[in-house]
Amino acid sequence: MRLYCGCIKTCVCCRRDRNGSCLRLLHSDQPGAGRERGNYVDTMAQVWNADGLSQEDLMLKDQCILLDMNDNIIGYDNKYESHIFCPERPRAKLHRAFSVFLFDESGKLLLQQRAKEKITFPEVWTNTCCSHPLTGCVPPEEDSPEDVANGTVMGVKNAAVRKLK
């Protein structure tokens, strides 16, 4: 479970879902905050659930794992902020992502056409599945640089299973 700020007015640092609920997470120095996890408060990991959420809601809700150039986790940010391309961030924010390529018995690759409702790359033909491991999920989706180096990436495998269900 994550703690949300519960603010009433909109400001530049506050994002809202389509129902007007605030999606900004409490920082650890605010009253009611639990144990700190990167830049955000995570009082208890939870099973990911997209029921009733739009693509826009998910872009604001899902917390990507931000990295430095040496693959060290340096924080977390939502998918929307992680994918902003601008003069200050021409490559957006470096974050973990994965691609899945499924082949049938004859070696044919299963492709997908992204939905027109997708905010990033709508209607583009692409691999079988691509997404991001997220922070705060059960089962956990975060891998350490050591996990990546030795190939035991259970976090990203958990994320792929979540997306392929």
pLDDT tens, position by position, 70-103: 888 999 999 999 988 888 888 889 999 999 999 9
Q: Is the pLDDT of residue 54 over 80?
A: yes
Residue predicted with more confidence, 162 or 145 = 162
In the numeric block, which tokens belong to residue 69?
A: 């150039």
- Residue 81 pLDDT: 92
Average pLDDT, the chain: 77
**Residues 104-135: tens digit of each pLDDT:** 999 999 999 998 988 788 999 999 999 999 99
* Distances, alpha carbon 114 to alpha carbons 1, 104, 129, 132, 135, in Å: 30, 20, 9, 15, 24
Binned at pLDDT 50, 70 and 90, residue 45 comes out as low
- Residue 5 pLDDT: 38
CA distance 141 to 107: 29
